[in-house]
Structure 1
Amino acid sequence: MKVVQLIDTLRAGGAERMAVNMATVFSQASIDNMLIVSRETGMQADRLDSRTQLQVLHKKGSLDWRAFRKLLRLVREFSPDILHVHSTSLYWGVPLKWFLKDVTLIWHDHYGLSDQLKEGDRKIERFCSSWIDGVVSVNEKLKNWAIQDLGMQSKNVVMISNFPHLKELDRFKRLNNEKVILFQLANFRPQKNHFLAVKSLKILLDKYQLEAELWLAGSTELDQQYTVEVNQLIEDLDLSDQVQILGEVEDVEDILEKASVGLLTSDSEGLPVSLLEYGLAALPVVVTEVGQCKKVLENGKYGVLVPVNDERLFAKALKELLEDYPKAIQMGEEFHKHTLHSYGGEKFLMNYKQFVESI
């Protein structure tokens, strides 16, 4: 099996981290693979296995014919069995399929607003469906959407969970912390609802009289107006000394070692890679009940689930977790074991190969 992956960028983001993680497990399994980035690389490129071929097209727009010709040449020369396109890279994957009819086109659907999908949404994806050979969905809602709304045959759609991959870290380092650090790894976009994290911190400090800091990591450039609004809320609530906006971080392992609790405050998700990274780092977590989070945490067995956009319940959950932190640490350790067993790269690869062979 030879695989070419196509993705828009390698900046911070769940789909981008998954593309790099997949390249890593392909290389570790001695599967020839190439990762083609259509626009620009980013910090995720530094995490690539040296055996993976990386190519960048520097695409200037959706109709950049020069970049498309380079893409076509690269794929023809590599001669893959599988063309695996992530998210909106499908829009170039389909024209590529027109020229390379023997390649199997797999679309990896990471759509983060799966909880808000309505009938008639995603018209371009519907148009592209005739040329898609298989769909990998990151949660059951997206799998069902691909069958019912996209019109794919059920045998050509599979739900395969994301998986994390981190450098070695000391997951017990946080026991020596002199301060409580609440950590959220999420790009600054409206669906991530950083407002909930900030408001919950305010309640934790004022109502429950617990000292804590909030560290927010993720790209601040994807929706600059949203970033401005988050900063304004921090200022309005007089939390400038307690909240750090870190932007994109190169060494997330260093922060995961220091963090006391991992947060996810999204209004909608697919299967957040950041949650699985919290698990790999044995981090106690408080997350909103969106996407696959409930399934990942097995209904609260491995972390605390809170309804969407309820800062009072979110703050209360944080308070209870912090007041019995030894119990929280034990829950984090169980989450670590669960993540290794149920969301490892080897399991992903086994399921992926079985799916590809069945198409």
Structure 2
Amino acid sequence: MRIIQIIDSLEAGGAERMAISYANALAKKIEFAGLIVTRNEGPLLHQIDADVSYLYLNKKHTFDLRSVLKLKSFVKQNKITIAHAHGTSFFTAVLLKLTYPKIKLIWHDHYGARANESIWNNLILSFCSCFFSCTFVVNHQLEVWANKNLLTKKNYFLPNFATFDDNVLKETILKSEEGKRIVCIANLKQPKNHITILRAFAEMNLMELGWSLHLIGKDYKDDYSAILKEFISKNNLENYVFIYGSKTDIKYILSQATIGVLASTAEGFPVTLLEYGLAKLSVISTNTGHCPMIIQDNFSGLLFTPLDSFQLQVQLDKMISKESLRISFALHLHQLVVDNYSKEKVIDILIKNYEKLSDSK
């Protein structure tokens, strides 16, 4: 098999990390594995393995013929049979299909909020889906949505997996007291809902108990970011709440943390929860998307309704006050991730789907 992954950027987001993870894993399993980045490179560039064939298109606008022809040339030269497009890169993949009809397209939907959207919000996607040979989705709500709204006949749930790159330099030192650090790994944007975490932290006066909060993720320096920073300033939290920006040494960061939190109002299948599990953190998570399948309430962590700050406070109080509970949750989550979301299991499922697609007409 000769397969490429296509993604629009290499910013530190979930879809981007999965595109790289697939390419890296497949390079050791199949004849040819490539990664195509259409618009922007980013901090994840250095996590691409040397045996992955890499191409950056530097696409400037929606209908950039130069970049499409560059991609077509790469595909023909390397005899690619399947293009696996992630997220918004589906449009570039469709343009490739129009210029090189023999390629088979897979589209991979990572966007959990789409499950609550109508077809009218996704007309271009729905039209383009007639060119997809199949669709992968990261939770069952998206599978239902795809079956209802896309023209693709084959829509499959494919779980995410997480790995840590041990070659990444350990650079990020978390501030404040060891053993009392709460971490949230999520880019500073909607629907990640950082403000609910900040409100709970402030209203519980966790700083007086020595706890601190650490926000890891790209800071777009926009209105969303400004609201968070204003809240931190107004509540005198500058010495207890820290914003670090986008980071790649996630394993090292999590090794310094005690509790992992995710508060999104919409999620697909967050890789972050799997990373928390691999790092043996105790976790409090939003109950949206695939999260309740990973964080089983009162077994592998605690769940809350994302806009309910009081419910988050209750769960934080439980987690903070009982170390034995934290240890139990962390061990259960770690085992659940290892047993159900390992790289080996997911890649085997992926390759079997590729094989079925290759055999079909």
Q: Which residue of 2 aligns with 1:22?
A: 22
- Given residue 350 of structure 1, which amino acid in structure 2 is its aligned partner? D
Q: 1:271 Cα deviation (Å)? A: 0.5
Amino acid at match of 2:218: S
Structure 1 contact 203–312 (Cα < 8 Å) conserved? no
Across the aligned residues of Structure 1 and Structure 2, the Cα RMSD in angstroms comes to 1.9
Instruction: Report if aligned partners of 1:116, 1:268 keep a CA contact under 8 Å in 2.
Output: no
Q: 1:284 to 1:234 in 2, by over 3 A?
A: same
Does the C-alpha gap of structure 1 residues 96 and 119 become closer, same or farther in structure 2, counting only changes over 3 Å? closer
Partners of 1:342 and 1:14 in 2: CA distance: 18
CA distance, structure 1, for counterparts of residue 324 and residue 20 of structure 2: 34
Structure 1 residue 4: deviation in Å?
0.7
Tell me which of the two structures has the higher relative contact order, counting C-alpha pairs closer than 8 angstroms and 6 or more residues apart: 1
Q: Percent of aligned positions with the same letter in both sequences?
A: 30
Contact kept? 1:114, 1:291, Cα under 8 Å: no
Question: What corresponds to 2:190 in structure 1?
Answer: 190
Residue pair 1:115, 1:269 contacting (<8 A) in 2 also? no
Structure 1 residue corresponding to 2:258, chosen from 249, 257, 260: 260
1:318-357 alignment, distance < 5 Å: 318-357=316-355
Do the aligned partners of residues 339 and 179 (structure 1) sit closer, same or farther apart at CA in structure 2, a change above 3 Å counting? closer
What is the identity, as a one-letter code, of the residue corresponding to 2:165?
K
Cα distance between partner residues in 2 of 1:31 and 1:240: 52
Tell me the SS of whatever aligns to 1:122. helix
The correspondence for 1:279, drawn from 258, 277, 280, is 277
Structure 2 residue identity aligned to 1:92: T
Greater CA deviation, 132-141 or 106-115?
106-115
Please, what TM-score do these two structures have when normalized by structure 2? 0.92
In 1, the alpha carbon distance for the partners of 2:72 and 2:249 equals 34
Residues 298, 329 of structure 2: 8 Å contact kept: no
The match for 2:108 is 108
In 1, the alpha carbon distance for the partners of 2:336 and 2:91 equals 36
Q: CA deviation at 1:43?
A: 1.6
Query: 1:177-326 to 2 correspondence within 5 Å?
Result: 178-205=178-205, 209-221=208-220, 224-326=222-324
Q: Is the 8 A contact 1:204 1:210 kept in 2?
A: no
SS of the counterpart of 2:4?
Answer: strand
Total equivalences in the alignment: 350
Q: State how far apart, in whole Å, the 1-side matches of 2:156 and 2:137 are.
A: 6
Q: Which amino acid aligns with 2:215?
A: L
Partner Cα separation in structure 2 for residue 110 and residue 159 of structure 1? 11
Task: Supply the AA of the counterpart residue of 1:254.
Answer: Y
Q: TM-score, normalised by structure 1?
A: 0.93
> How far apart are the structure 2 equivalents of 1:253 and 1:59?
32
2:331 corresponds to which letter in structure 1? E
Residue identity opposite 1:16 in structure 2? E
Q: Secondary structure at the match of 1:192?
A: coil
State yes or no: 1:120 paired with 2:128.
no
SS at match of 2:85: strand
